[in-house]
Amino acid sequence: MALLQIVEPGESAAPHEHRLAVGIDLGTTNSLVASVRSGVAVVLRDELGRPLLPSVVRYLPDGGSEVGYEAQAAQALDPRNTIVSVKRFMGRGITDIANRESMPYIFQGGPGMLRIHTAAGLKSPVEVSAEILRTLRLRAEAALGGALLGAVITVPAYFDDAQRQATKDAAKLAGLPVLRLLNEPTAAAIAYGLDNAAEGVYAVYDLGGGTFDISILKLSRGIFEVLATGGDSALGGDDFDQRIFCWILEAAKLKPTSVEDASMLLTRAREAKEYLTFHGVAPITGRLNSGEVVDLRLSTEIFAEITQTLVAKTMQPVKKALRDAGLSVSDVKGVVMVGGATRMPQVQRAVGEFFRQDPLNNLDPDKVVALGAATQANLLAGNHTAGDDWLLLDVIPLSLGIETMGGLVEKIIPRNSTIPTARGQNFTTFRDGQTALAIQVVQGERELVSDCRSLARFELRGIPPMVAGAARIRVAFQVDADGLLAVSAREQISGVEASIVVKPSYGLSDDEIAGMLKDSLAHVKDDALQRALKESQVDARRLLEAVRAALATDADLLSPAELSRVESDIVKLESAALGDNRRQIMLAMDDLEADTKDFAARRMDKSIRRAFAGRNINELGSDSAAAKSGETA
């Protein structure tokens, strides 16, 4: 096969300044930030040289917060205000959380995403995650020496729409522009595939602190194609800790413990789990508040036995993903292990037995996701050089459907569809003069609405009054490259754009986010206005660079009048970007965007034509050979 010729439309022949972009692994237990420096992806360390940031946030009575090791150290001391594993709460309601009785937090229920009462007030999981992201952003800015163009943030492949949206909202609160949400196993595959020049079908088995993913990918030169994905967004290393914790209670014949004791024992459980990776027996000792002493020994055999069902639970999604990809075990060339929890010997063994080969462990399972994300961020920012170009094709993990009569689900976009994807659906009114319509969107594989997760309720308003059944409302469901759903609607006969009111079932409304943004600014050290100005200056420079690059190659697509308008917009934006009036910058950007809209369409057109023009010359030989084999097949 001839090598794909990939031309970045925003690419200019002239060397441009290196744009600062990072990859962030926002993990259940630990988070990392990485960036490509001098052509190599590296993890950025804190001022003490530590690569990891524990995903722990402690809220203080003065409204401030501590993040990372500092917060982790206070966990046993102040468990109620110290939030660990917040990723498990993202986009989730209170009833979704298993084992919440054994957690030290005071949850606030109600409809929608849960909240936690802390010393600093009521906090949403989005705000807690934003604290972690903000810390990583500051770390990256200090290490790289400037404002970031943006970040690629990884999410479990099996995250649903609400969990993805919550992650994106957290980035917004943290002042971090998101270049892309990238699936964790796909990020790992990028890091692994580019390092090893891998070709063929690979499985990525990703068992993190709180989530499990399996992805089946086809790797070929320059293409990473996800064939199928599956998983469990509430299964991870934490659950193994929980099993040891329960075993301790039973073996030491302890009554239900206080919050502080439980927190201490959970820490001992985690330490024992990690110890058993390299030893046959782990000692577990600790003194409870009552003075009672716990002194136990946990063997690998018992550990394997009490966690056997957890390991088995990961194999069902593995089988399903293989089946969805239309492949069998023998088609899989290699199994890449990702996530700290894959260090457990019983996990390695089970995966090896299933795939009938030794899993690949030559990359640090803690860092591989962040490194892959950094590599992708570098590409998306346009920093690539010729040769390190690749294309990533990912899929949506769960089917999207709408509620039909009788509480049934009609699937509109099936799972494992390559994204971006869209589907149109026609609706009509069933009463004379009806001007509004509600659509319930769900995600999941079951046939009943009540068995799937509700994503949102869309209310269409402003439908022109007609007799029942006469209106033709075309609703478009679009899933973008982040795996996020957007819905738009139009009445086809009158051409009226029906307005849509979205009520996300577990997400936050724009107003809520604006409120949180305001709250957070009161306690953040960096100046928000200054930051917003800087961001718009970065945006303006990015746009100017993109337009200049476009003009350098395709100015002939514009009429002289159009060209002079664009040039005058450029001058205006350049001078605005030098000043400190943010509004002026935004207005100048809007003008330039508006005057280059048609230009963009013409350029896209030209690029698509060129795809074939280039092929006709370069691939004539291989084409005719392929056609011949097609005839005999």
CA distance 233 to 220: 29
Instruction: Tell which positions 338-377 bind another protein, by CB under 8 A.
Output: 376
Q: Half-sphere exposure of 187 toward its Cβ, with a 13 Å CA cutoff?
A: 36
**Given candidates 195, 271, 274, 593, which one binds another protein under the rule CB under 8 A?**
593
Q: Which is nearer to another protein, 206 or 569 (CB)?
A: 569
Query: Could you tell me if residue 291 is left (phi over 0), alpha (psi between -120 and 50 degrees) or otherwise beta?
Result: left
Q: Which is nearer to another protein, 252 or 600 (CB)?
A: 600
Q: Which is nearer to another protein, 520 or 596 (CB)?
A: 596
184 among known catalytic residues: yes
Specify the pairing of strand 178-183 against strand 200-207. Answer: unpaired
405 exposed, middle or buried (CB, 10 Å; 0-12, 13-18, 19+)?
Answer: exposed
Amino acid, single-letter form, for residue 181? L
**Given candidates 251, 517, 533, 600, which one binds another protein under the rule CB under 8 A?**
600
87 among known catalytic residues: yes
Least distance from C-beta 128 to another protein, angstroms?
A: 27
Least distance from C-beta 175 to another protein, angstroms?
A: 18
Residue 437 pairs with which residues in a beta bridge?
460
Stretch that binds another protein, among 47-55, 76-84, 361-369, 538-546 (CB under 8 A): 538-546
Stretch that binds another protein, among 111-119, 298-306, 312-320, 439-447 (CB under 8 A): 312-320
Stretch that binds another protein, among 228-236, 282-290, 519-527, 601-609 (CB under 8 A): 601-609
404 exposed, middle or buried (CB, 10 Å; 0-12, 13-18, 19+)?
Answer: exposed
Number of residues located near another protein, criterion CB under 8 A:
60
Stretch that binds another protein, among 105-113, 466-474, 516-524, 624-632 (CB under 8 A): 624-632
Specify the pairing of strand 334-338 against strand 200-207. Answer: parallel
Asked if residue 41 lies in contact with residue 33, where contact means CB atoms within 8 angstroms, the answer is no
- By CB under 8 A, tell whether 568 contacts another protein: no
Asked if residue 338 lies in contact with residue 111, where contact means CB atoms within 8 angstroms, the answer is no
- Residue 598 — φ and ψ, nearest 5°? -65, -35
- By CB under 8 A, tell whether 478 contacts another protein: yes
* CA distance between the termini of the chain: 19
Instruction: Give which of 288, 304, 352, 326 is closest to 416, Cα–Cα.
Output: 326
Asked if residue 370 lies in contact with residue 32, where contact means CB atoms within 8 angstroms, the answer is yes
- By CB under 8 A, tell whether 546 contacts another protein: yes
Q: Half-sphere exposure of 300 toward its Cβ, with a 13 Å CA cutoff?
A: 12
Q: One symbol per residue from 13 to 32: x for binding another protein (CB under 8 A), - otherwise; what is it?
A: ------x-------------
Residue 504 pairs with which residues in a beta bridge?
456
Which tokens go with 215?
């992805």
- Residue 475 — φ and ψ, nearest 5°? -105, 125
Q: Which is nearer to another protein, 120 or 381 (CB)?
A: 381
Least distance from C-beta 133 to another protein, angstroms?
A: 19
- By CB under 8 A, tell whether 562 contacts another protein: no
Question: Which one of 87, 123, 273, 367 is the catalytic residue?
Answer: 87
Instruction: Tell which positions 411-470 bind another protein, by CB under 8 A.
Output: 417-422
Which runs of E-coded beta strand occur in 307-418? 334-338, 391-393, 400-403, 409-413
Give the gyration radius of the chain's Cα atoms.
26
Q: One symbol per residue from 171 to 200: x for binding another protein (CB under 8 A), - otherwise; what is it?
A: --------xx--------------------
Instruction: Give which of 427, 361, 417 is closest to 394, Cα–Cα.
Output: 417
Which tokens go with 524?
């953040």
**Given candidates 597, 617, 621, 632, which one binds another protein under the rule CB under 8 A?**
597
Question: Which one of 11, 78, 160, 206 is the catalytic residue?
Answer: 206
**Given candidates 147, 223, 246, 249, which one binds another protein under the rule CB under 8 A?**
223
**Given candidates 7, 468, 470, 620, which one binds another protein under the rule CB under 8 A?**
7
- By CB under 8 A, tell whether 9 contacts another protein: yes
61 exposed, middle or buried (CB, 10 Å; 0-12, 13-18, 19+)?
Answer: exposed
**Given candidates 122, 470, 552, 608, which one binds another protein under the rule CB under 8 A?**
608
Active-site residue numbers?
A: 25, 87, 184, 206
Name the site residues for another protein (rule: CB under 8 A).
1, 4, 6-10, 19, 149-150, 179-180, 222-223, 316, 319-320, 323, 376, 379-382, 391-393, 417-422, 478, 480-481, 542-543, 546-547, 592-593, 596-597, 600-601, 603-605, 607-612, 615, 623, 626-627, 629-630
